[in-house]
Protein backbone atom coordinates (compact mmCIF):
# COMPACT_ATOMS: atom_id res chain seq x y z
CA UNK A 1 0.00 0.00 0.00
CA UNK A 2 1.49 3.31 -1.12
CA UNK A 3 0.67 6.35 1.03
CA UNK A 4 1.17 10.01 0.21
CA UNK A 5 4.27 11.03 2.16
CA UNK A 6 3.00 14.42 3.32
CA UNK A 7 -0.22 12.85 4.59
CA UNK A 8 1.82 10.24 6.48
CA UNK A 9 3.94 12.99 8.06
CA UNK A 10 0.75 14.88 9.03
CA UNK A 11 -0.49 11.76 10.84
CA UNK A 12 2.90 11.48 12.56
CA UNK A 13 2.51 15.10 13.71
CA UNK A 14 -0.95 14.32 15.14
CA UNK A 15 0.42 11.22 16.93
CA UNK A 16 3.31 13.24 18.36
CA UNK A 17 0.84 15.85 19.59
CA UNK A 18 -1.51 13.20 21.03
CA UNK A 19 1.24 11.35 22.88
CA UNK A 20 2.97 14.53 24.03
CA UNK A 21 6.17 13.33 22.39
CA UNK A 22 7.62 10.32 20.61
CA UNK A 23 6.74 6.94 22.13
CA UNK A 24 8.83 4.14 20.63
CA UNK A 25 7.67 1.32 22.92
CA UNK A 26 4.13 0.90 24.30
CA UNK A 27 3.49 1.83 27.93
CA UNK A 28 1.68 -0.94 29.86
CA UNK A 29 -0.52 -0.62 32.94
CA UNK A 30 -0.77 -2.89 35.98
CA UNK A 31 -3.17 -5.26 34.17
CA UNK A 32 -0.81 -5.51 31.21
CA UNK A 33 -3.13 -3.28 29.20
CA UNK A 34 -1.63 -0.63 26.94
CA UNK A 35 -1.79 2.82 28.52
CA UNK A 36 0.08 4.57 25.71
CA UNK A 37 0.35 3.38 22.15
CA UNK A 38 3.47 3.99 20.13
CA UNK A 39 3.38 6.74 17.54
CA UNK A 40 3.95 4.12 14.86
CA UNK A 41 0.98 2.04 16.06
CA UNK A 42 -1.24 5.13 15.88
CA UNK A 43 -0.15 5.54 12.26
CA UNK A 44 -1.02 1.91 11.51
CA UNK A 45 -4.47 2.48 12.99
CA UNK A 46 -5.10 5.67 11.01
CA UNK A 47 -4.30 4.08 7.67
CA UNK A 48 -6.41 1.02 8.59
CA UNK A 49 -3.63 -1.42 7.95
CA UNK A 50 -4.50 -4.99 8.95
CA UNK A 51 -2.28 -4.83 12.01
CA UNK A 52 -4.80 -5.42 14.80
CA UNK A 53 -7.27 -8.29 14.73
CA UNK A 54 -9.25 -7.28 17.84
CA UNK A 55 -12.66 -5.69 17.31
CA UNK A 56 -12.86 -3.90 20.66
CA UNK A 57 -11.96 -0.23 19.90
CA UNK A 58 -10.61 0.19 23.44
CA UNK A 59 -7.91 -2.33 22.61
CA UNK A 60 -6.84 -0.59 19.42
CA UNK A 61 -4.78 2.56 18.92
CA UNK A 62 -6.82 5.79 18.88
CA UNK A 63 -8.11 7.04 15.53
CA UNK A 64 -6.98 10.66 15.24
CA UNK A 65 -8.44 13.53 13.25
CA UNK A 66 -5.92 15.19 10.94
CA UNK A 67 -6.22 18.95 10.52
CA UNK A 68 -4.80 21.53 8.13
CA UNK A 69 -2.50 22.59 10.96
CA UNK A 70 -1.01 19.09 11.06
CA UNK A 71 -0.53 19.19 7.29
CA UNK A 72 1.11 22.61 7.48
CA UNK A 73 3.54 21.28 10.09
CA UNK A 74 4.24 18.31 7.82
CA UNK A 75 5.31 20.79 5.12
CA UNK A 76 7.65 22.47 7.62
CA UNK A 77 9.21 19.16 8.63
CA UNK A 78 9.83 18.09 5.04
CA UNK A 79 11.29 21.51 4.19
CA UNK A 80 13.62 21.32 7.20
CA UNK A 81 15.11 18.01 6.04
CA UNK A 82 16.16 19.58 2.73
CA UNK A 83 19.16 21.12 4.49
CA UNK A 84 20.62 17.59 4.25
CA UNK A 85 20.40 17.57 0.44
CA UNK A 86 24.11 18.15 -0.17
CA UNK A 87 25.07 15.68 2.55
CA UNK A 88 22.79 13.07 0.98
CA UNK A 89 24.17 13.68 -2.52
CA UNK A 90 27.77 13.41 -1.36
CA UNK A 91 27.18 10.32 0.79
CA UNK A 92 29.05 7.23 -0.37
CA UNK A 93 27.26 4.05 0.70
CA UNK A 94 29.36 1.45 2.44
CA UNK A 95 28.76 -2.26 2.19
CA UNK A 96 26.33 -3.59 4.83
CA UNK A 97 25.96 -0.10 6.35
CA UNK A 98 22.77 1.93 6.50
CA UNK A 99 22.97 5.67 5.73
CA UNK A 100 23.19 8.02 8.73
CA UNK A 101 19.85 8.79 10.38
CA UNK A 102 19.58 12.35 9.02
CA UNK A 103 20.25 11.21 5.44
CA UNK A 104 17.68 8.41 5.75
CA UNK A 105 15.19 10.92 7.15
CA UNK A 106 15.78 13.22 4.17
CA UNK A 107 15.38 10.35 1.71
CA UNK A 108 12.19 8.96 3.27
CA UNK A 109 10.44 12.30 3.77
CA UNK A 110 11.15 13.54 0.25
CA UNK A 111 9.70 10.56 -1.59
CA UNK A 112 6.28 11.02 -3.17
CA UNK A 113 4.92 7.99 -1.37
CA UNK A 114 5.89 5.69 1.50
CA UNK A 115 4.81 2.26 2.72
CA UNK A 116 4.24 0.91 6.21
CA UNK A 117 7.89 -0.19 6.25
CA UNK A 118 8.86 3.50 6.37
CA UNK A 119 6.64 4.30 9.36
CA UNK A 120 9.54 4.07 11.82
CA UNK A 121 11.21 7.07 10.20
CA UNK A 122 7.97 8.92 9.49
CA UNK A 123 6.66 8.48 13.04
CA UNK A 124 9.86 9.90 14.52
CA UNK A 125 10.08 12.84 12.11
CA UNK A 126 8.29 15.39 14.39
CA UNK A 127 10.71 14.45 17.19
CA UNK A 128 13.65 14.83 14.80
CA UNK A 129 12.37 18.22 13.63
CA UNK A 130 11.60 19.58 17.10
CA UNK A 131 14.92 18.55 18.63
CA UNK A 132 17.11 19.66 15.73
CA UNK A 133 15.32 22.96 15.21
CA UNK A 134 15.66 23.68 18.92
CA UNK A 135 19.37 22.86 18.72
CA UNK A 136 19.73 25.21 15.76
CA UNK A 137 17.99 28.04 17.62
CA UNK A 138 20.20 27.57 20.68
CA UNK A 139 23.33 27.56 18.50
CA UNK A 140 22.19 30.77 16.78
CA UNK A 141 21.40 32.44 20.12
CA UNK A 142 24.92 31.72 21.41
CA UNK A 143 26.78 32.59 18.22
CA UNK A 144 24.82 35.80 17.61
CA UNK A 145 25.05 37.03 21.19
CA UNK A 146 27.15 40.02 22.18
CA UNK A 147 27.85 38.42 25.53
CA UNK A 148 30.01 40.09 28.17
CA UNK A 149 31.13 38.89 31.60
CA UNK A 150 28.85 40.25 34.34
CA UNK A 151 29.89 41.40 37.83
CA UNK A 152 33.06 40.53 39.73
CA UNK A 153 33.90 37.21 41.36
CA UNK A 154 31.80 36.80 44.51
CA UNK A 155 29.37 39.61 43.69
CA UNK A 156 25.59 39.19 43.73
CA UNK A 157 23.78 39.08 40.38
CA UNK A 158 20.03 39.42 39.79
CA UNK A 159 18.62 38.46 36.37
CA UNK A 160 14.88 38.90 35.83
CA UNK A 161 14.57 37.77 32.21
CA UNK A 162 16.83 34.77 31.68
CA UNK A 163 15.83 32.77 28.61
CA UNK A 164 16.78 29.15 29.23
CA UNK A 165 18.86 27.63 26.44
CA UNK A 166 19.63 24.31 28.12
CA UNK A 167 18.49 22.61 31.30
CA UNK A 168 20.09 19.17 31.54
CA UNK A 169 20.25 16.72 34.40
CA UNK A 170 23.90 16.34 35.38
CA UNK A 171 25.68 13.06 34.68
CA UNK A 172 28.07 13.64 37.58
CA UNK A 173 25.98 15.19 40.38
CA UNK A 174 22.31 15.01 41.41
CA UNK A 175 21.13 18.28 39.93
CA UNK A 176 20.62 20.35 36.80
CA UNK A 177 23.06 22.34 34.70
CA UNK A 178 21.29 25.39 33.28
CA UNK A 179 22.51 27.72 30.56
CA UNK A 180 20.63 30.87 29.62
CA UNK A 181 20.85 34.26 27.99
CA UNK A 182 19.62 37.67 29.16
CA UNK A 183 20.23 41.02 27.48
CA UNK A 184 22.68 39.26 25.16
CA UNK A 185 24.78 37.90 28.04
CA UNK A 186 25.33 34.18 28.69
CA UNK A 187 24.96 32.60 32.15
CA UNK A 188 25.63 29.10 33.48
CA UNK A 189 24.80 27.54 36.84
CA UNK A 190 24.25 24.24 38.63
CA UNK A 191 21.21 23.70 40.84
CA UNK A 192 20.30 20.87 43.19
CA UNK A 193 16.64 21.94 43.01
CA UNK A 194 14.18 19.81 41.08
CA UNK A 195 14.01 21.70 37.78
CA UNK A 196 12.36 18.96 35.72
CA UNK A 197 9.67 21.33 34.44
CA UNK A 198 12.10 24.01 33.21
CA UNK A 199 12.52 23.65 29.46
CA UNK A 200 14.50 25.45 26.75
CA UNK A 201 13.15 28.94 25.97
CA UNK A 202 11.35 29.25 29.32
CA UNK A 203 11.84 32.65 30.95
CA UNK A 204 13.02 32.51 34.56
CA UNK A 205 14.32 34.92 37.18
CA UNK A 206 17.47 34.08 39.12
CA UNK A 207 19.59 35.51 41.92
CA UNK A 208 23.08 34.16 42.53
CA UNK A 209 26.74 34.92 43.05
CA UNK A 210 29.45 35.10 40.42
CA UNK A 211 31.53 31.94 40.66
CA UNK A 212 33.73 32.45 37.60
CA UNK A 213 34.10 34.13 34.22
CA UNK A 214 34.51 31.52 31.48
CA UNK A 215 34.22 31.12 27.71
CA UNK A 216 31.51 29.08 26.00
CA UNK A 217 33.11 27.08 23.17
CA UNK A 218 36.35 28.89 24.07
CA UNK A 219 34.97 32.00 22.40
CA UNK A 220 31.83 33.52 23.94
CA UNK A 221 32.08 35.20 27.39
CA UNK A 222 29.81 33.47 29.92
CA UNK A 223 29.23 34.20 33.61
CA UNK A 224 29.19 31.15 35.87
CA UNK A 225 27.02 31.47 38.99
CA UNK A 226 26.49 29.50 42.18
CA UNK A 227 24.10 29.63 45.15
CA UNK A 228 21.32 30.40 42.68
CA UNK A 229 17.67 30.89 43.66
CA UNK A 230 15.16 30.45 40.84
CA UNK A 231 11.67 31.72 40.07
CA UNK A 232 9.47 30.93 37.08
CA UNK A 233 6.43 33.17 37.02
CA UNK A 234 4.86 32.83 40.47
CA UNK A 235 6.65 29.54 41.17
CA UNK A 236 9.70 29.49 43.45
CA UNK A 237 11.89 26.38 43.37
CA UNK A 238 12.64 25.09 46.86
CA UNK A 239 12.45 21.28 46.56
CA UNK A 240 15.88 19.71 46.41
CA UNK A 241 16.61 16.41 44.73
CA UNK A 242 17.99 15.07 48.00
CA UNK A 243 18.70 16.38 51.51
CA UNK A 244 22.04 18.10 51.48
CA UNK A 245 23.72 21.50 51.46
CA UNK A 246 24.77 23.79 48.62
CA UNK A 247 28.25 22.27 48.65
CA UNK A 248 28.00 20.91 45.11
CA UNK A 249 26.83 24.30 43.87
CA UNK A 250 30.02 25.73 45.30
CA UNK A 251 32.13 23.06 43.59
CA UNK A 252 30.52 23.44 40.17
pLDDT single digits (tens) 6-62: 999 999 999 999 999 999 999 988 888 888 999 999 999 999 875 555 555 667 888
Structural domain contains residue 197: yes
Range of the domain at 89: 3-140
DSSP string, 18-77: HHTS--SSPEE-TTS-EEE--HHHHHHHHTT-TT-----GGGS---PPP-HHHHHHHHHH
Query: From CA 17, how far away is CA 127, in angstroms rounded?
Result: 10
Which are the contacts of 230, defined by CB distance < 8 A and separation ≥ 6? 191, 193, 195, 198, 204, 205, 206, 236, 237
pLDDT band at 1 (very low <50, low <70, confident <90, very high): confident
* Last-in-domain residue among 90, 106, 140: 140
168 and 199 housed in the same domain: yes
Percent of the chain with pLDDT strictly greater than 70: 91
Q: What pLDDT, on a 0 to 100 scale, did the predictor assign at position 50?
A: 59
Task: Report the range of poorest mean pLDDT among 40-54, 152-166, 226-240.
Answer: 40-54
Q: b or e along 142-158 (b: 16 or more beta carbons within 10 Å of the residue's beta carbon)?
A: beebebebbeeeeeebe
Instruction: Quote the pTM value.
Output: 0.79
Same structural domain, 92 and 125? yes
13 and 64 in a common domain = yes
pLDDT of amino acid 91: 83
pLDDT over 70 (residue 249) = no
Secondary structure letter of residue 113 according to DSSP? E
pLDDT given for residue 51 in this prediction: 57
> What confidence score (pLDDT) does residue 223 get?
98
CATH at 178: 2.40.50
pLDDT of residue 87: 84
> Residue 193 — very low, low, confident or very high, per pLDDT cuts 50/70/90?
very high
Q: Is residue 195 part of a domain?
A: yes
Total residue count of the chain as it appears in this document: 252
Rounded CA-CA distance 222/236 in Å is: 25
Amino acid sequence: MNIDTLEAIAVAVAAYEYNGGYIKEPVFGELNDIQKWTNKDIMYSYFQLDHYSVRDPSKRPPLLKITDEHRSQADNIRAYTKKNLFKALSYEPKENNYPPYDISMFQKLNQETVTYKDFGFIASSPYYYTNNKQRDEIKDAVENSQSQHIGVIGSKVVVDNLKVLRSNYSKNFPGYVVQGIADGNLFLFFSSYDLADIKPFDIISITGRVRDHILEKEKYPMTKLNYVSIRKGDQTYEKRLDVRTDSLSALF
